[in-house]
Each structure stands twice: as C-alpha cells, then as structure tokens.
C-alpha cells in the first residue's frame, strides 16, 4: 500500500469517528424531542 493511502485512511477514519459521534448526538436530540412532545400531550 502506498504511503499516501495510509495518510488518507487516517484522515478519513478521524472524520468517520467525529461524524459518527455527531450522528449519535443528533439521534439523542431527536429522542429527547419525541419525549418532550409526549410529555406536552
């Protein structure tokens, strides 16, 4: 494997981890929103 491939793999992995965490945060927020709506009824 070319050394550039390792460089791209490391950068992509970093953004995949941060992106994955942001997705978890968005899902948590949607869940709380749903529960707040339920409480409001």
Partner 1 sequence: MKRGFTILAIVTGLLLSFALYEALIAAPTERTMGDVQRIFYYHVPSAWTAFLLFLINFVASVVYLIRRDSKSDIIALVSAEVGVVFCTVVLVTGPIWARPVWGIWWTWDLRLTLTLVLWLIYVSYLVLRRFSTSSQTAKLAAVLAVFGALDVPLVYFSIWFFRTQHPSPVIGNGGSLDPRMAQVLLINWAAFLCLAWLMSWTRFRLEVLKREVEEAQSLQSLLEPSR
Q: Which residues bind partner 1 (CB under 8 A)?
A: 1, 3-4, 6-7, 9-11, 13-14, 17-18, 21-22, 25, 28-29, 32, 35-36, 39
Q: Residue 7 Cβ, how far from partner 1 at the closest point, in Å?
A: 5
Q: Residue 35 CB, nearest distance to partner 1 (Å)?
A: 5
Cα–Cα distance, 22 to 27 (Å, whole number): 9
Q: How far is the CB of 26 from partner 1 (least distance, A)?
A: 9
Q: Which of 27, 8, 28 shows the shortest CA–CA distance to 16?
A: 8
């Amino acid at each position: 494997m070319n050394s550039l491939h390792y460089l791209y793999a490391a950068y992509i992995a970093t953004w995949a981890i941060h992106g994955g965490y942001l997705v978890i945060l968005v899902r948590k927020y949607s869940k709380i929103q749903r529960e707040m709506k339920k409480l409001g009824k």
